[in-house]
Amino acid sequence: MSERIKRLIDKLEENHTLVKEEWVEIFDNYDDSDREYAAEKARAVAVGVFGNKVYIRGIVEFSNVCKNDCYYCGIRCSNSNAQRYRLTDEDILSCCDEGYEYGFRTFVLQSGEDYKEYPASRMAEIIKRIKASHPDCAVTLSLGEMEYDDFKLLKEAGADRYLLRHETATREHYEMLHPKVMSFDHRMQCLSQLMELGYQVGTGMMIGSPFQTSEYLANDMLFLHDFKPHMIGTGPFLPHKDTPFKDKPKGSYELTLFVLSLCRLMLPRVLLPATTALGTINPLGRENGVLAGANVIMPNLSPTAVRKKYMLYDGKICTEDATSECRQCIFARMKRIGYEVEITRGDYKP
Ligand code: 5AD
Ligand code: FES
């Protein structure tokens, strides 16, 4: 059986694509040796494209207020135990200034869907101010779903990239993870609009989200192949105690590493973060993510005082730490595995 999976991995490496049945076969039958086989190949591909370098992006989690009620997420609007906070424009700018001192050249502005307080017009002003102080930096937005005119305004204000995970490419699965008012079609529409507007677009899914099957994961891989995002953010599902999914099992660490490797083999140049969730499920998750083909790490630049409040899932790492500590930590962790952090915007290169 395993020889068969290894041949499918070879085929993926060569053709950068598989058909649905082949993806399902992989996810149903892979074992540790197949996973290691894929990781070695994926690491070689990543080293071929990026050398032994990783890019860093600093995330500023500026508001945990969210109008949505996704069943998996700790900052869903129904979670009355979440202590809500919002940073001022000045707070956001000073997080970026501090990040700049530490070598960050990409700032990711991330929040819940909090448009009442942070409409596109306000975000546009913030982007312009960041770009004025740091013209050599990229600004990435992770603000959730918006309308075309908002995306356009933000792009014109200077935003370079947008992260919006598709979460799952299967409609029936999407509807199991989200309340009825959330629309699979609208999310997909946002993703195509972002592409059309010339953003570098990041999307992705959780691994082991409740009800996920090999077939759904196969659909995710097919979607990623067709959509060709510039970045893929993927980490394990981790339950949060104040959500409807509190008793659902966490995703598999090993499967997450395997999916990272398969993404690298499918889209060799894609930007692939070893996510915070991967670092949460295993203390060496981010290192092993890089060794499995990832090339980006996204530490937090948020003020330590609010970090614990941006709890998407239980046990999130780095919530006691300051920017300086995460910076040291990441540089040391990468050095230990023979990689170096590059001080650069780290744009997607076609
Ligand atoms: N476990 C893992 N990832 C989560 N996200 C949200 N909640 C969880 C969770 N419980 C991810 C989603 C979202 C991103 C910001 O965080 O994929 O798009
Ligand atoms: Fe934050 Fe290690 S990256 S403490």
Q: Is the CB of 114 under 6 A from ligand 1?
A: no
Look at ligand 1, atom 14, and give the residue with the nearest C-alpha.
165
Q: Is the CB of 61 under 6 A from ligand 1?
A: no
Asked if 16 and 268 count as a contact pair (C-beta separation under 8 A), the reply is: yes
Pairing of strands 200-203, 206-207: unpaired
Percent of the chain at pLDDT > 90 equals: 99
pLDDT at 42 over 90: yes
Asked if 111 and 62 count as a contact pair (C-beta separation under 8 A), the reply is: yes
Confidence label for 332 from pLDDT (cuts 50, 70 and 90): very high
pLDDT at 18 over 80: yes
Report field, pTM of the whole predicted structure over 0.75: yes
Look at ligand 1, atom 18, and give the residue with the nearest C-alpha.
165
pLDDT digits (tens, 9 = 90+) for 297-331: 999 999 999 999 999 999 999 999 999 999 999 99
pLDDT digits (tens, 9 = 90+) for 95-107: 999 999 999 999 9
Pick from 290, 329, 336 the residue to mutate for probing ligand 2's pocket: most ligand atoms within 8 Å of its CB. 329
pLDDT digits (tens, 9 = 90+) for 164-216: 999 999 999 999 999 999 999 999 999 999 999 999 999 999 999 999 999 99
Q: CA-to-CA distance for 138 and 57, rounded, in angstroms?
A: 9
Look at ligand 2, atom 4, and give the residue with the nearest C-alpha.
326
H-helix or E-strand spanning residue 343 = none
Q: CA-to-CA distance for 309 and 246, rounded, in angstroms?
A: 17
pLDDT at 343 over 70: yes
Query: Distance from the CA of 132 to the center of ligand 1, in angstroms?
Result: 32
Pick from 312, 314, 317 the residue to mutate for probing ligand 1's pocket: most ligand atoms within 8 Å of its CB. 312
Q: Is the CB of 167 under 6 A from ligand 1?
A: yes
Confidence label for 81 from pLDDT (cuts 50, 70 and 90): very high
Q: Is the CB of 310 under 6 A from ligand 1?
A: no
H-helix or E-strand spanning residue 163 = strand 161-163
Compute the average pLDDT of residues 109-117. 98
Q: Give just the sign of the alpha carbon dihedral 325, 237, 60, 89.
A: negative
Confidence label for 2 from pLDDT (cuts 50, 70 and 90): confident
Give me the pLDDT at residue 206, please.
Answer: 98
- Ligand number nearest to the C-alpha of 275: 1
Query: SS3 for 229?
Result: coil
Look at ligand 2, atom 1, and give the residue with the nearest C-alpha.
326
Q: CA-to-CA distance for 236 and 207, rounded, in angstroms?
A: 5
Nearest atom in ligand 2 to 321's CA: 4
Confidence label for 1 from pLDDT (cuts 50, 70 and 90): low
Task: Give residue ranges with CB within 6 A of ligand 2.
Answer: 299, 318, 321, 325-326, 329-330
Give me the pLDDT at residue 254, please.
Answer: 98
Q: Is the CB of 312 under 6 A from ligand 1?
A: yes
Average pLDDT value for the chain? 98
Q: CA angle, 299 as apex, 235 and 192 as ends, to 5°?
A: 55
Q: CA-to-CA distance for 169 and 58, rounded, in angstroms?
A: 28
Q: Please classify residue 226 by burial: count the beta carbons closer than 10 Å to its beta carbon, then call 0-12 exposed, 13-18 middle and 19+ buried.
A: exposed
Pick from 56, 326, 336 the residue to mutate for probing ligand 2's pocket: most ligand atoms within 8 Å of its CB. 326
Q: CA-to-CA distance for 180 and 274, rounded, in angstroms?
A: 31
